[in-house]
Amino acid sequence: MTNEKYQNVQHSIAPFYDKDSTILILGSFPSVKSRETNFFYGHPKNRFWQVLAFIFQEDVPQTIDAKKAFLKKHHIALWDVIASCQIIGSQDRTIKNVKVNDLQLILNTSMIKKIYTNGQLANELYEQYLAPSINCPKISLPSTSPANARYSLRQLIDKWQIINN
């Protein structure tokens, strides 16, 4: 770790969903780059958009408007488990003092049939804080983050294919 210090950070990106959303994908907490762009998976090396585009056989959306249109077309909602935390940069492993988001607004005003967690931390926090009060099937998927070097793009696509079933 560098000499960076912990920052108290509030989640600043609104959940993306509408009444027709059937899939909810939950990350842990937005990266610095995502917070700068004010939309999910904003780091150019994050493979999230490549994976989804391949699964749905579409071009990778490049702009925020194109990403929103893509999500809406495929009835995908996005949000994160964490509402606020202390973190160093974008490093999930440094996250502490977590407060979680309330998913009930999304679940009560959409048609979510399945929840997918993007990465181990999102899954662990979901299980710890949210799962006991949510009656919806959940599947854990490997992180699309560039920090997850264990998975190649092809391996991620193979694992994430389940969202298009």
User: Taking 80 as the threshold, does the pLDDT of residue 3 lie above it?
Assistant: no
pTM of the full structure: 0.94
Structure confidence at residue 2 as a pLDDT band (50, 70, 90): low
**pLDDT recorded at residue 36:** 94
**Residue 92 Cα distances to 82, 150, 153, angstroms:** 11, 16, 20
Interstrand relation of 23-27 and 76-80 (parallel, antiparallel or unpaired): parallel
pLDDT for 4-46, tens place per residue? 899 999 999 999 999 999 999 999 999 899 999 999 999 999 9
Stretch 89-118: mean pLDDT: 94
Interstrand relation of 138-141 and 114-118 (parallel, antiparallel or unpaired): parallel
User: Taking 50 as the threshold, does the pLDDT of residue 95 lie above it?
Assistant: yes
**pLDDT recorded at residue 89:** 87
pLDDT for 128-164, tens place per residue? 999 999 999 999 999 999 889 899 999 999 999 999 9
| CATH superfamily name and code, 7-164 | Uracil-DNA glycosylase-like domain (3.40.470.10)
**pLDDT recorded at residue 165:** 79
Which of 106, 153, 145, 155 has its CA nearest to residue 122? Answer: 145
Of 1-5, 99-103, 137-141, minimum mean pLDDT range:
1-5
Q: Locate the domains of the chain by residue range.
A: 7-164
User: Taking 50 as the threshold, does the pLDDT of residue 1 lie above it?
Assistant: no
What is the DSSP code (8-state) at residue 61?
P
User: Taking 50 as the threshold, does the pLDDT of residue 62 lie above it?
Assistant: yes
Residue with tokens 């298009």: 164
| Secondary structure of residue 105 in the 3-state scheme | helix
